[in-house]
Structure 1
Amino acid sequence: MNITKQKVHFVDNELLNPTNPVTINLIGAGGTGSKVLTALVEMNHSLLALGHAGLQVRLWDDDTIKEANLGRQRFSSAELGLLKSVALINRANRWAGTRWKAATTKYGLESFNDGSTKASATLTISCVDTVQARFVIAEILVKSGQTGNYSNRPKYWLDFGNAQGTGQLLLSTVGKIAQPKSELFDAVANLPFVTDEFADLLPKSESIDDTPSCSVADALQKQDLYINSALAQMGTSLLWSLFRQGMAVHRGFFLNLGEFRSQPIMVG
């Protein structure tokens, strides 16, 4: 009798038992990114308490804090005019005693082509607003994955995206991750990029109106108050399970906050 094995992905050992903190590039410090950073601070503290080497985060964003960012994003009126990445990283470092870094430029091909290793990290987390930004990230990850064997060679990409009241998260591998032999599971080495798997849907998933919001009320017409928080908590929960369980049965989800409904995306 043929028994269908459950498809799973076994996490790379560089996340589970690293000698040094796991390097993370967090791209975007807006509604979702600012809340993901807070979750990473909590995760780093918890991992260290469990004997793990922890996380080393670099936050990428070249935007400044405006009135429309207050309330929905994790900023206060005292921070108006400051760079988002600098304000958030300074706050995280003061609170947790970390030495995380702020990158005050866009995460782009220039960051990779100048020979700097800043564009490379074991884990990339994107919280970006445009389809084009995702394709740029995908291109950089492919190129980075083909160069050298340095410790922060990219292994995983976690992409957040949302409309006004809906959103999604998808976990991808950068190339194939070596999998152990298993009699119980069907181990999956490659999890496709969002830009490959959903290429036809991406242009339709984002609003054509990309003009800056002039007020908090205007911003809330584009993205509801708690969609970013819900995505950040669910997405970082998936990441936490990778560290704690060492394997993934789910590689993401679709979320409709207005209907309080989520749909998991299975591995394979």
Structure 2
Amino acid sequence: MNTTEKIKVHFTDNYLINPTNPIEANIIGAGSTGSKFLTALMEMNHSLIELGHAGFSVRLWDDDRVSEANLGRQRFAECETGFYKSVALINRANRWSGTNWKAETVKFERTPLGRLPEHASATLFISCVDNVKARFEIAEILKELTNGRLYHNQPKYWMDLGNSQHTGQVILSTIGEIRQPNSEKYETTAHLPFVTEEFGELLRTSETDDNTPSCSLAEALEKQDLYINSTLAQMGCSLLWNLFRNGMTENRGFFLNLKDFRSQPLKV
């Protein structure tokens, strides 16, 4: 009798592998991590299209404007000071790659009347926000989106990226359950829990919740070291890339400590 334990994996939703139209993605946050993630996603979009895939249709959400403290650590030039971050980044992305991606100059949150934000629905959500409260609000919005009868842009995945000065984490979650194929080789997992459900307490204790604007680059670097955000963005995009290229994953994220160069994968 074979007692070998099967490897747990999650198979990518079929729609992401063979979409008829570009996959709609909401990137929430255009700061230190979000600006780097957008750049990496441009590379992935081009590569997927070259491989016969439909690519992405991205909407970037952020109500913040570029300040002098953002220059150097975020993807902004001096001439963009005062512009909305989302507009500056999306304009540059569209000019660079010929895409028609969109910028939203508001936060991804409910309206004052409690309604969902306009254009909230998408297949893929990537959150690069700097406070815990925003993550829990995103989780509530995603739950409500799945309750609606959406046939177009059915929400499938949420990837959350968060960090403190030297450490960070990327967590991939399914929005609801993703139908899995029958497999004799692997133990398949249809549901990957939200970061707010599985690591709510960790988020509250390990992540800095000081999202007050920094007055200078030196002050900003006291909160987040120079390369923590770009490292998280690159590794997070690598996880996303593997979902598309391999059609499955054994890992649903990782924990990173850049101070001593350690990375710990989070298994499915």
Say whether the fold is shared (TM-score over 0.5). Answer: yes
**Counterpart of 1:23?**
24
Change (3 A) 1:188 1:116: same
Q: Which moved more, 1:222-231 or 1:140-149?
A: 140-149
**Counterpart of 1:204?**
205
Contact 1:59 1:102 in 2 (8 A): yes
Report the CA distance between 1:54 and its aligned residue: 0.6
1:259 aligned counterpart, secondary structure? coil
Report the CA distance between 1:210 and its aligned residue: 3.1
2:171 aligned counterpart, secondary structure? strand
Change (3 A) 1:147 1:49: same
Report the CA distance between 1:106 and its aligned residue: 0.4
> Aligned partners of 2:91 and 2:246: how far apart in 1?
31
Contact 2:156 2:174 in 1 (8 A): yes
Contact 1:163 1:223 in 2 (8 A): yes
**Counterpart of 2:232?**
231
**Counterpart of 2:192?**
191
Q: Does 1:14 align with 2:24?
A: no
Q: Which amino acid aligns with 1:220?
A: L
- Deviation track 1:3-31 (CA, whole Å, cap 9, x = no partner) reads 21110000001110000000000000000
Contact 1:22 1:122 in 2 (8 A): yes
> Aligned partners of 1:215 and 1:11: how far apart in 2?
42
Over the aligned positions, Cα root-mean-square deviation in angstroms equals: 1.4
Change (3 A) 1:132 1:236: same
> Aligned partners of 1:111 and 1:45: how far apart in 2?
38
- Deviation track 1:69-112 (CA, whole Å, cap 9, x = no partner) reads 00000001000000000000000000000000000000012299
> Aligned partners of 1:227 and 1:247: how far apart in 2?
27
Contact 1:255 1:261 in 2 (8 A): yes
**Counterpart of 1:34?**
35
Q: Which moved more, 1:112-121 or 1:173-182?
A: 112-121
Report the CA distance between 1:150 and its aligned residue: 2.1
Q: Which amino acid aligns with 1:126?
A: S
Q: Does 1:221 align with 2:213?
A: no
Stretches of structure 2 that go unaligned for 5 or more consecutive residues are none
The percent identity for this pair of structures is 64
Q: Does 1:94 align with 2:105?
A: no
> Aligned partners of 1:81 and 1:12: how far apart in 2?
40
TM-score by length of 2: 0.97
Stretches of structure 1 that go unaligned for 5 or more consecutive residues are none
Q: Which amino acid aligns with 1:121?
A: A
TM-score by length of 1: 0.97
User: Aligned pair count?
Assistant: 267
> Aligned partners of 2:195 and 2:123: how far apart in 1?
18
**Counterpart of 1:133?**
134
Q: Which amino acid aligns with 2:60?
A: L
**Counterpart of 2:86?**
85
Q: Which amino acid aligns with 2:230?
A: S
**Counterpart of 2:47?**
46
2:58 aligned counterpart, secondary structure? strand
Q: Could you list the structure 1 runs, at least 4 aligned residues long, displaced by more than 6 angstroms after superposition.
A: none
**Counterpart of 2:182?**
181
- Deviation track 1:103-139 (CA, whole Å, cap 9, x = no partner) reads 0000012299646661111000000001000001000
- Deviation track 1:167-224 (CA, whole Å, cap 9, x = no partner) reads 0000000011011100000010000000000112111122253321000111011100
